[in-house]
Structure 1
Amino acid sequence: MRVLRGSGIESASELPFAALQMLLRPLLDDLDTLPKPQAEALRGALGLTARTTEPDRFLIGLATLTLLAEHSPLLCLVDDAHWIDHASSQALLFAARRLDVEGVVLLFATRGSGGDVFAAAGLPDLMLAGLDRESALQVLAEHAPGLPGHVRDRIVAEAGGNPLALIELPGMDTDSLAAGPLPLPHRLQEAYQERITALPSDTRTLLLALAVEDLPAALQATGLPVDALAPAEREGLITVTGAGAAFRHPLVRAAAYQGAPFAERAAIHRALARAVGDDRRAWHLAAAATGPDEPVAAALEHAARQARRLSGHAEASAALERAARLTATAPDRARRLTAAAELAADSGRLDRARALIDQAVHLGGTSAERVRLRARIEFGHGSPEAAWRLLLDAAPDNEDLLVEAARVAWSVGDTAGLRAVKERLARDDGLAALIAGTIELLSGDPGAGLDLLRRHTADAPERRVGADGLRIGATSLALLSGDLRDARENLLRLSDGLRSGGAIGLLPGALAVLAESETLLGLTRQAASTAAEALRIAQDTGQHRHASHAGGLLAFLAALRGEEPSGEGDWAGRARAMLDLGRGRFEAALDRFEALACRPQGVYFTPDQVEAAVRSGRPERAPIARWESWAEASGRQWAQAVRHRCLALLADDPEEHFEQAVVCPDLPFQEARSRLLNGEWLRRSRRKNEARRQLRAALELFEQAGAVPWADHARTELRAAGESAASPSEDLLARLTSQELQIVRLAATGATNKEIGAQLFLSPKTVGHHLYRAFPKLGVSNRTELARLNLLTQMM
């Protein structure tokens, strides 16, 4: 296999994509083989082209995956991964989680707790234990024969089975070993320090410079020839090649740097600052500073802006935090700490962001910006109530924070939060109307709420109210008003635009809402495929809220198939309610539906709540007025059809209502539900011929949707009506996984593996592998036969 090597370097850990550039350097001449958005993102991240806009950091990870896959078979070795910069680690982790059949191995080596990041990302790990005593004695006998017994035993005890220690410690001064036990890294560093101290002065100086910069910069800063490294090379402390110089072990680098007095380190940093570029210059000057220094702090702030332009949010945060420590005045220090906290939150480091914002508040008080950031952190930690309360408590002098509080409460359906915001509003305008409409929609008169929302969003498709805006856009309004097909079309266009622009970070949210619209439309197969993709990308990009949303939708779709759902959240709760309803556990279903009635999109499940109430013998708990109000305001034919189904359940003579309920062409699952109930009533009324017609139609629609409990119910009713229903016909597409389904759908349009990979953020080899597995399941052997199956029609 071809081998690529990279390494984390402590002094370069604040430089975004430094480690990635080291690893990918041999492949960079082939960037033109990547899809254009990926190539541009990777070039910008690695500084190979000027960028004025910030690239999607996840697109950089995808470009890394595609580039590695293009050069397989490939082994990538990343040493000291605990020191690689955050931007590089995120790109490499994104690629690693998506490796499948590419023929690429990514191997990260870390020390101490450095592997936690990689293990938490879901990568398999192997913890290396120390050698046992017998093996340790064998290593010592090979590398340091003839040691006195007491020295040998002391080294074995100190080494703790570490092979490097067993090799290096015998060279230490015996008095140092006798001084007492030390943590092993300290003991090894001490061993290397003894050897460095014995080197000539020029060698030590050049090693000190080399500990924090590459060889050309070290030579330029010190003015020394490369020959000055020869004594260290003979000692086996470094290796010098035409490509540069490398320390034998990171502890040698640490010993070369930390063993030098501060005055020498500061002098080297000042010399290196004259030899390197602007961003590195700021860090070297900061390392040499002995107190507040505004010019250096300003230079670090500039370096942070540059890092952010490359999507290096964690590195930018570190630069601003260091700048704050060099800032003399409290207001400026608080400003820089606030900016550092925001960037830490952007990089997913919410705990670090909280610590930084607390420091900023201590120095500079509570500003609107800091309150908003604190609320964002609480929301990210899964505490929406704490988030809106923070915003609400700080809002008397800043109505923009009220907008934020309303947005947070709206996103989780917290009507108490929305009412608290409305009570605080000092004005009676569009914002107040939007909040009032939202409250009505969630827990009052949904028809009146919908009318309010429409009136105050009709003047612009994406109207903004307030500084940050409580957005009720065209797509949101379509979802709220039952215009599900329009909402789906808007969301398909949005997701296609995000795909073509490589905006991976924004895609999971759009896909989750798209899957929601498809679920409500009854497009269960497509919804499952969309939600699975949303979940996969959200997990890869660390977006837990979107992952939870997509996971809940998958749980709901699983419940429709008759499977026990898992997970938490609104959609997972609805999943359990629907499974109860489908299996005839009506009382349990009613309790669940009532608990979720005031959550976002809860109005769509009002008819299910009505059915559960009637069929459990509790018609007084059927919220028929709520559905009638919303159905009238929505103006949708399907909503009126479902209204008639609800009225039929409550009527003594339901026939007229059933006749109108079964005319529901836009939502086949809802039509099937109405036909099933109508068929049941007709059978009980001894009108078996008419019942069979309705039940056959219901069964066909349920089977198309994969709604097993409902199909089983329809089949049972058919038998009771005197007709033996055939066993369900085999569904070819049901054989496919959600990812295979997505790939097959695109392949059926004639898209190439490379084009499919670019759309789905997979490597072309993974696409080919999934097609290879999907073809036999569908009984085809190539794309031509695939097109003949007319799969696109089946999947809509």
Structure 2
Amino acid sequence: MVTTPGLRDRHSERDALDRLVTNVRSGRSQVLVLRGEAGVGKSVLLDYLARGASGCRVARAAGHEYETELAYAGLHQLCAPLLDLRDRLPGPQRDALEAAFGLSAAPAPDRFVVGLGVLGLLAAAAEDEPLLWVIDDAQWLDRASALTLAFVGRRLLAESAGMVFAVREPSNVPELDGLAEVVLGGLGDTDARELLDSALPGRLDELVRDRIVAESRGNPLALLELPRGLTPTELAGGFAVRDATPLAGRIEQSFRRRLDGLPAETRRLLLVAAAEPVGDISLLWRAAERLGLDAGSAAPAQSAGLVELRGRVRFRHPLVRSAIYGTSTLPERERAHRALAEATDPAVDPDRRAWHRAHATTVPDEDIAAELELSAGRAAHRGGVAAAAAFLERAAELTPDPAARGRRALVAARAKFESGAPDAAHKLLAIAGLCPLTDVQRAQLTRLHAQIVYGLRRGSDAPPLLLAAAKQLAPLDGESAREAYLEALEAAIFAGRLNERIGPSEVAAAARNAPPARQPSRVIDRLLDGLATRYTRGYVAAVAPLQEVLAAFERDAGGDQHDMLRWFSLPWLVAGDLWDDETWHRLATRAVRVARDAGALIALPLALGHRAAVHLHAGEFAEASSLAEENQAITAATGNAPVRYAELLLAAWRGVEPAARELMDWGLQNAVGRGEGRGIGGYGYASAILYNGLGHYDVALAGARSACEYDDLGVTGFALVELVEAASRCGAHEEAAAALRRLEERTSAAGTEWALGVHAWSAALLLEGEAAESRYREAIERLARSRVAVHLARAHLVYGEWLRRENRRVDAREHLGTAYDMFHRAGAEAFAERARRELVSTGATARRRTVDTRDLLTPQEGQIARLARDGLSNPEIGAQLFISPRTVQYHLGKIFAKLEITSRAQLGRLPQSRL
């Protein structure tokens, strides 16, 4: 690399950047975050990087303090030169990019489909030439750009591409946490002294020099700026700064002192430049002309080294911009924004024009408010929910009519909530609440407040609020009221045993008085009625209507993507509650597909968790594990709360006690903290599974008891099975018999092979002789006709154990051997070990476990291998796993080497259990 003039020290930092460029040139991706306080030299290092990246295509972008609300503003700086490559992308990704950047009128894209499109665009460009993206002032990136760039950065691996971020510390960019970083400190004393001496001609008092070096802490910009404005006397020996202001503030003060000496015309021009974050030089001069400023106004600022006007506006440092804007008066700022608005072409950039107009006044103005509302609509259409919320918030502030202000504040609150800013949403609701609202708007306000509470804390606070909203909406908007009743019932189900006042039965009783559904009724109307029956008249009475709901949901919601994404979890829980393994499977499969196709990465983790549970019960632990891994990758990328129940169930069925206990402890703490009582039942059930497998029946009994203390939807029935076995093994026969009666009531009403099969082997545990054997055989026959292979293996295990106790060793070996093989192939090692011990007791020798590819491949490699085996192309695998096609190919190369094969076709010849 070439040497950048003015660089002192920074040897290790330069080495890190040199290695990054070397890696990118050789086809190994790398991402690096430079962190440091203002003025420490991050931008200088980025210049060094760009100058030395010969052979690479370098694209630069910078966050701007006044553009943080404009969605994808930072990302557009990087992607605009590459958009001619978008035809290489899959259709959904290409469409998402075009919508995000305003190139089409397509509906708002999911931001993570945009992320996949950016990843694909970067990978395509890197195939032609090594690509380096350099992002300065990342702390001021708009959130959509920050999320997308971090998403892409975490998925680069085998592309000739690199990304380097410079971010000020302390930082508010959590999206970059966890990426490789270099933290910049101050210069060493020797280099600091040399830099200071180079900036101050003439003799400098030694004690003053020491004081400046100490107070600057080696910060290069501070060394250059702090002495400016000091008198020769002060520099000669009277330097005595005792200012407690943070360093960034003191540097900014130094810039302010330098600004004070500039002509008034120059300061006005700089203010216009500071208020215009894009750096559009032609826009600056058009605005300047409206203020009567000519090109000569810029000369003093350029001579002082505060700004460059070459092709685009570039300030010496972001603190110069903030110093200019911060020292100006409100009327001065308004004049600058007004000039910028007048100079902005409304046909080319109507949204930025509206934003400048909004900052050009503090007086309510309906014309500007209406323009902002239109901008919000365009921003939302592009997927910029945060930008839409910002436009709407300002529109509400500038609305003169109180009724219109209330309407806009309510819409802005909804946008703020959807953009992940609940505190701001609460403030806007407060504003709306002070305005004259219609009865419908007042009810909508109540519902949104309740939804915010439920979104923040899925506990006992939400059900009464949602129920109140439903009752308020009932005489005004029947459809919205029924939706609110269903939301209240969902909240009460999840709050479960932690409900303090209003539980599912109370909400269900109120919902039976909801306005009648319009005809033909929606699937969510039938879901509400079915669940209301479940919690008012009991399990048995609800079986038939809920079975009809499941059939309707599969049929009707199959064509309604919104209903599937919003409500799929409740029908899936109902299917499990009814022991309907076929519908359970189909709903989870469809939910994953719809969420993938829609790029709905908020809903996808939950759908993946449901699908993982289906695979787990089918004995397909590897597939379940892969889905759990994908789930974690998505929640890590989105920053949403992790959904780890499938991961816990896997650990429990596998019998991995330390991992399962850690997940249980973590999950219980989080569930109680959130007020999510249903989680307590779920973790009790997982504990019962774990310890029944390990043969610690007393501990399993405690977990099963906890799970069965409350009727948790989709949990209690499963837990009753574990309670019967644990209690019978512990000699608690009356407790086992009582649990069996509760189980029989449910399974007989459900009537599926799964339900009747688990009841049969549970009943057999409490019987003797021919009666017991008949029920064991019935269980095996019924479960063999279901999808729940792990329960079929359980039935073989308990039958084999009974046969062994009956001294029918030969018969016992057959069923124990079958159970051992099934559990071992699945990966349920605790249950497999239980079967092995029983086999040994019959005098048989259990077959030694063979090494399979699960011991060779990482979880991600296993998932890629299975998808490739199933015929998916590299781009299709990449889109599903949120990695680039080139990274897929990189992993396939490692997979082939580990498996000692040479082609994808050979993957298909491997046994399914080995992948």
Same fold (TM over 0.5): yes
Letter paired with 2:895: A
Offset of residue 152 of structure 1: 3.4
The 8 Å contact of residues 508 and 532 in structure 2, kept in 1 or not, is answered as no
Maintained 8 Å contact 2:301/2:307: yes
In 1, the alpha carbon distance for the partners of 2:822 and 2:150 equals: 43
Correspondent of 2:704 among 583, 588, 593: 593
Tell me the residue number matched to 1:96: 153
2:281 is aligned to 215
Alignment match of 1:768 (pick from 889, 898, 915): 889
Q: What is aligned with 2:727?
A: 613
* Equivalence for 1:55: 109
- Report SS of the residue matched to 2:343: coil
Q: Closer, same or farther in 2 for the Cα pair 1:650/1:202, shift >3 Å?
A: same
Structure 1 residues 784 and 402, CA gap change in structure 2 (3 angstroms): closer
Once the two structures are TM-superposed, the CA of residue 615 in structure 1 deviates from its matched residue by 0.9
Q: Is the 8 A contact 1:450 1:634 kept in 2?
A: yes
Q: CA–CA distance in 2 between the matches of 1:721 and 1:370? A: 69
Structure 1 residues 442 and 673 mapped into 2: Cα distance closer, same or farther (>3 Å)?
farther
1:605–1:101 Cα change, 3 Å: farther
Q: What's 2:171 paired with?
A: 114
Change in 2 beyond 3 A, CA 1:459/1:715 = closer
Identify the residue that residue 541 of structure 1 maps to in structure 2: 638
2:388 aligned with 1:267: no
Q: What residue number does 1:407 align with?
A: 490
Structure-2 change in CA distance of 1:405 and 1:336 (3 Å): same
Cα-to-partner distance string for 1:599-643 (whole Å, 9 max, x where unaligned): 231113321221111111112223112322222232322322222
Q: Which one-letter code corresponds to 1:484 in the other structure? A: D
1:450 match:
543
Map Cα deviations across residues 236-261 of structure 1 (whole Å, 9 max, x no partner). 2222333x121110112223333344
Which amino acid counterpart does residue 12 of structure 1 have in structure 2?
A: E
Q: Give TM-score scaled by structure 1 length.
A: 0.91
1:421 lines up with 2:507 in the alignment: yes
Instruction: Tell whether the 8 Å contact from 1:392 to 1:421 is kept in structure 2 after alignment.
Output: yes
Per the TM alignment, residue 21 of structure 1 is displaced from its structure 2 partner at its CA by 0.8
Distance 2:886 2:819 in 1: 42
What percent of counterpart residues are identical?
A: 37
What's the secondary structure of 1:53's corresponding residue?
coil
Of 183, 198, 203, which aligns to 1:142? 198
- Structure 1 counterpart of 2:624: 527
Amino acid at match of 2:824: E
Structure 1 match to 2:689: 578
How far does residue 475 in structure 1 lie from its aligned partner after superposition? 5.5
What's the secondary structure of 2:463's corresponding residue? Answer: helix
Aligned to 2:390: 318
CA contact (8 A) 1:445 1:629 kept: no
Match of residue 164 from structure 1? 221
Tell me the SS of whatever aligns to 1:291. Answer: coil
From the superposition, tell whether residues 442 and 263 of structure 1 become closer, same or farther in structure 2 (CA, over 3 Å): closer
User: Partners of 1:110 and 1:308 in 2: how far apart?
Assistant: 28
Match of 2:268 in 1: 205
Give the corresponding residue for 1:298: 370
By how many angstroms is 1:297 displaced?
A: 2.0
What is the CA deviation profile of residues 460-484 of structure 1, one whole-angstrom value per residue up to 9, with x for unaligned ones?
Answer: 65779xx999889875654443232
Q: Compared with structure 1, are the counterparts of its residues 125 and 354 closer, same or farther at alpha carbon in structure 2 (3 Å cutoff)?
A: farther
Deviations 1:280-318 (CA, angstroms, capped at 9, x unpaired): 122212212132222222222222222111211122222
> Secondary structure of the residue that 1:106 maps to in structure 2?
strand
SS of the residue 2:851 aligns to: coil
Shift of 1:512: 1.9
One-letter amino acid matched to 1:534 = N
Task: Look up the match of 2:908.
Answer: 787
Superposition deviation, residue 703 in structure 1 = 0.9
Instruction: Give the SS at the match of 1:751.
Output: coil
Q: What RMSD, in angstroms, separates the aligned Cα atoms of the two structures?
A: 3.1
Q: Contact (CA 8 Å) 1:418, 1:435: kept in 2 or not? A: no
Aligned to 1:239: 308
Q: 2:36 matched to which residue of 1?
A: none
- Contact conserved, 1:463 with 1:472, CA < 8 A, in 2? no
1:412–1:600 Cα contact (<8 Å) kept: no
1:16 partnered with 2:71? yes
Q: Is 1:684 the counterpart of 2:805 in the alignment?
A: yes
**Counterpart in the other structure of 1:660:** 778
**TM-score of the superposed pair, with normalisation by structure 2:** 0.79
Ranges in structure 1 where 5+ consecutive residues have no aligned partner: none
Preserved CA contact (<8 Å) 1:463 1:473: no
Whether 1:351 and 2:408 are equivalent positions in the alignment is no
Change (3 A) 1:485 1:742: farther
Paired AA for residue 504 in structure 2: L
Aligned counterparts of 1:727 and 1:229: Cα–Cα separation in 2 = 83
Matches within 5 A, 1:633-644: 633-644=749-760
Extract unaligned runs of 5+ from structure 2: 1-20, 22-55, 475-480, 518-523, 668-678
Contact 1:641–1:661 (Cα < 8 Å) also in 2:
yes
Q: How far apart are 1:788 and its partner, in Å?
A: 2.5
Instruction: Decide whether aligned partners of structure 1 residues 779 and 113 sit closer, same or farther in structure 2, where only a CA change above 3 A counts.
Output: same
Indicate if the aligned counterparts of 1:58 and 1:505 stay in contact, CA closer than 8 A: no
Counterpart selection for 2:101 from 19, 41, 46: 46
Q: Equivalent of 2:249, from 163, 168, 186?
A: 186
Tell me the matched-pair count. 785
Larger mean CA deviation between 207-216 and 516-525 belongs to 516-525
Matching residue's letter, 1:77: V
Q: Is the 8 A contact 2:85 2:124 kept in 1?
A: no
For residues 427 and 629 of structure 1, the distance between their equivalents in structure 2, rounded to whole angstroms, comes to: 28
Distance 1:87-1:284 versus aligned 2 partners, 3 A rule: same
Q: Give the distance between the partners of 1:336 and 1:147, measured in 2 at CA.
A: 61
| TM-fit CA distance, 1:7 | 0.6
- Quote the residue 2:675 is aligned against: none
Contact 1:446–1:626, Cα closer than 8 Å, also in 2: no
Cα deviation, residue 98, structure 1: 2.7
Distance 1:170 1:472, change over 3 A: closer
Aligned to 1:25: 80
Cα displacement (A) at 1:227: 6.1
Structure 1 531/661 Cα, relative in aligned 2: closer, same or farther at 3 Å? same
CA contact (8 A) 1:413 1:442 kept: no
| Letter of the structure 1 residue corresponding to residue 613 of structure 2 | E
Contact 2:505 2:536 in 1 (8 A): no
Determine helix, strand or coil for the equivalent of 1:246: strand
Q: What is the deviation of 1:200?
A: 4.8
In structure 2, what residue type is equivalent to 1:106? M
| SS of equivalent residue, structure 2 residue 70 | coil
8 Å Cα contact 2:512-2:529 kept in structure 1:
no
Shift of the 455–488 alpha-carbon distance from structure 1 to 2, 3 Å rule, reads: closer
Deviations 1:687-724 (A, max 9, x none): 11111111111111111111101111111111111111
Aligned to 1:69: 123
Deviation for aligned residue 1:443: 11
Whole-angstrom CA distance in 1 between matches of 2:892 and 2:271: 55
Q: Name the aligned partner's letter for residue 271 of structure 1.
A: A
Whole-Å separation in 1 of the counterparts to 2:114 and 2:553: 35
**Alignment match, 1:752:** 873
Q: State the AA in 1 paired with 2:377.
A: R
Assess, with a 3 A threshold, how the Cα gap between structure 1 residues 350 and 265 changes in structure 2: closer, same or farther: closer
**Aligned 8 A contact 1:21 1:46 in 2:** yes
Could you tell me which of 331, 341, 350 is aligned with 1:278?
350
**Matches for 1:720-731 after TM superposition, within 5 Å:** 720-731=841-852
Mapped contact 1:484–1:521 kept (Cα < 8 A): no
Letter in 2 for 1:79: D
